[in-house]
Amino acid sequence: MAKKVLIVDDQFGIRVLLQEVLLQEGYQVFQAANGPTALEIVKQESPDLILLDMKIPGMDGLEILRNLRKMGAESKVIMMTAYGELDLIQEAMEMGALAHFTKPFDIDELRQAVNAHLMWPEG
């Protein structure tokens, strides 16, 4: 059964790019442009991993992460940040984020990190 990855980013272009790459890897991919949608998908689908943008209008990445923890979600989380967001990254790591990628990131490195954290493809 394919592992599930949720992409949370307010930028359409980034969601589309990541979705294309992750579908090629064989993942089941979900996407959300904002916090409330992301939390709803987490409730319904329990994704194995979440790629979480830090800067999102309304509920930002940290707030989403905080809500995920409150819900007891067990999804692994990789943050996507902008340059210079060290304090925010630190806070995200304290809430259990496994890694962070600074935009603009190398899509191949991100792909490899997702695969490594999900131990995918299997075998």
CB of 9 to Mg ion, least distance (A): 6
CB of 11 to Mg ion, least distance (A): 6
Q: Which of 18, 30, 52, 53 binds Mg ion (CB under 5 A)?
A: 53
Owner of token pair 């939390």: 39
Owner of token pair 């969601």: 15
Three-state secondary structure call for residue 39: helix
**Which of 49, 81, 41 minimizes the C-alpha distance to 62?**
81
Owner of token pair 């509920």: 59
CB of 72 to Mg ion, least distance (A): 26
DSSP class of residue 58 equals S
Q: Which of 37, 55, 91, 117 binds Mg ion (CB under 5 A)?
A: 55
The region of 8-16, 21-29, 43-51, 88-96 touching Mg ion under the rule CB under 5 A is 8-16
Q: Which phi and psi angles does 52 have, rounded to 5°? A: -120, 115
Owner of token pair 């890897």: 25
Q: Per-residue x/- marks for Mg ion, 13-52, CB under 5 A?
A: ----------------------------------------
Contact residues: Mg ion, CB under 5 A = 10, 53, 55
